[in-house]
Amino acid sequence: MKPVIREFEEESGLIIENPISRGTMYVNYPTRSFIFHTYIAHNYRGEIKQFEENNTYWMSIQDLIRKPKRFINTIMLEPSFLRVLLDEAKTFVLHVDVDDDDNILNLDFKVQRKED
């Protein structure tokens, strides 16, 4: 089983099918950094499960974007980024520097044609 399939199931209870790698996002805070390997999956099976460490639920992209407190990785759902995310002929590398309040200080977004 691919690590992304296993990890998604562990966090949500859903088993995604045929995940497609889309790119990588690097988020740098003043004292910590995160790397997000980004995938898209069009099909899944199973039911969302609740876990002690997180609440899992469905939300529309529009509702998520309007939330007052967002995780910085949801920047990929903004229209300009979403177009690249959904274009399977392209991949991306996104570097984002933020302060401790999640304010974006610097953003570098590179798009490449996907290698076969």
1 band by pLDDT with thresholds 50, 70 and 90: low
Question: What letters, b where the CB count within 10 A reaches 16 and e where it falls short, cover 71-106?
Answer: ebeebbeeeebeebbeeeeebbebebbbeeeeeeee
Per-residue pLDDT tens over the stretch 2-29: 899 999 898 888 999 999 999 999 999 9
Supply the pTM of this predicted model.
0.78
